[in-house]
Structure 1
Amino acid sequence: MDIIEKALQMAAKAHSKQQRKGSDIPYIVHPVAVGMILMKAGYDESFIAAGILHDTVEDTEISLNDIHREFGLEIARIVDGCSEPDKSLSWEERKTHTIEYLKDAPMEIRAVACADKLHNVRSIKNDYEQVGEAIWSKFNAGKEKQEWYYTQIVESLQYQNSFPLVRELEEAVRRLFNR
């Protein structure tokens, strides 16, 4: 079976009962969109599969060992790098960790994380156009903290060297926060 098809099947089953935060949209839309962003940007199958699987370990019963067994070390390493290590930490501690980690993370992790954040920002912008400032109430951290986080993510991803997806993310963040 094709690796992307296999990733789609695993992610669809793992996220089958989940919805996007504050909506009735099936969660699987997000990982599929991340994979599509990576595909459109010209990344290979392993990046695309990792993008589709990027939230499975963090948000479902799928373990990193499951990913490693089914998809190999490279994809497991990317998924692990895109997962928050300790959900018991506060929002700010988790986000600060992500910002610092991505500065020096391997390129494949940075690319998948960037596609993830790009889809999140695009989704927030779309929702903002529908409901305005009320969009921020669905997040644990409001508009100011979201702006801080996404601005810092862009800087972190540009730390080593920039790449086309980072420039797309930077523009999306600028548009979302009217910067």
Structure 2
Amino acid sequence: MPFTTVDQAINLAAKAHAGQKRKATEVPYISHPYSVGMLLLKAGCSEDIVIAGILHDTIEDTLVTEKDIEEMFGKKVAELVTMASEPDKSLSWEERKQHTIDHLSEASEEACYVICADKLHNLRSMVSDYEKLGESLWSRFKKGRDRQEWYYRSLLASLEKKIPGTPMVKALTVEIEKLF
């Protein structure tokens, strides 16, 4: 039986993120993009959106390019991955995060789902780690609890305007309240 394009995306992401770990853990990084894809699948998103979720960090954190993704999965997937990626990594944390928040007002509904699933999985991981580590969790981040809270609450406010009332936005709200 041939692989589906979702299988191809999982394989590409696994190879691209090989050897990477989740922040300050021993958890293989691929668990994050895979989980993002599964959240999108559970939300009933199209195959292109699920694939974009699986590949959402490849342009930002690996040698995979937007052109590579477009050649393998098409223009729509490449655009969604690009929309979910942070710009220039040489910018400050605040500039990159503000760009993401501001960019949501222009992003398509599909891109908002990818971004929301990414942040939802990040928050769920943070909540789980907070339950084990308590306040020491915040030492993992260049910016502490207050700036993380600002970022996630700002994202939520933007996402509530773009994809209001969706189960994914409701889940994001729950996780933000648990963590902060």
The TM-score range, normalised by the shorter chain, is: over 0.9
CA contact (8 A) 1:104 1:160 kept: no
Given the alignment, which residue of 75, 78, 81 partners 1:79? 81
CA contact (8 A) 2:10 2:34 kept: yes
Given the alignment, which residue of 170, 173, 178 partners 1:170? 173
Please show how residues 150-165 of structure 1 align to structure 2 within 5 Å.
150-162=152-164, 163-165=166-168
CA deviations on 1:92-120 (whole Å, 9 max, x unpaired) are 01000100101231011000000000000
Distance in structure 2 (CA, Å) of the matches to 1:105 and 1:155: 14
CA contact (8 A) 1:34 1:116 kept: yes
Structure 1 match to 2:67: 65
Given the alignment, which residue of 8, 15, 18 partners 1:16? 18
Q: TM-score if structure 1 supplies the norm length?
A: 0.97
For residue 104 of structure 1, give the secondary structure of its aligned residue in structure 2: coil
Distance in structure 1 (CA, Å) of the matches to 2:79 and 2:106: 15
What residue ranges of structure 2 are gaps of 5+ in the alignment? none
What residue ranges of structure 1 are gaps of 5+ in the alignment? none
Q: For the structure 1 residues 161 and 50, does the alpha-carbon distance in structure 2 shift closer, same or farther, using more than 3 Å as the test?
A: closer
Given the alignment, which residue of 135, 138, 148 partners 1:136? 138
CA deviations on 1:127-161 (whole Å, 9 max, x unpaired) are 00011000000011100000000000000111234
Q: Kindly provide the amino acid, as one letter, of the partner of residue 84 in structure 1.
A: E
Q: Kindly provide the amino acid, as one letter, of the partner of residue 106 in structure 1.
A: S
- Structure 1 runs of 4+ off > 2 angstroms? none
Structure 1 match to 2:52: 50
Q: Which moved more, 1:130-139 or 1:161-170?
A: 161-170
Aligned residues: 177
Distance in structure 2 (CA, Å) of the matches to 1:103 and 1:17: 35
Q: Kindly provide the amino acid, as one letter, of the partner of residue 173 in structure 1.
A: I
Cα displacement (A) at 1:9: 0.3
Q: Which moved more, 1:156-165 or 1:43-52?
A: 156-165
Distance in structure 2 (CA, Å) of the matches to 1:6 and 1:160: 30
CA deviations on 1:6-36 (whole Å, 9 max, x unpaired) are 0000000000110000001000000000001
Q: TM-score if structure 2 supplies the norm length?
A: 0.96
Distance in structure 1 (CA, Å) of the matches to 2:162 and 2:37: 23
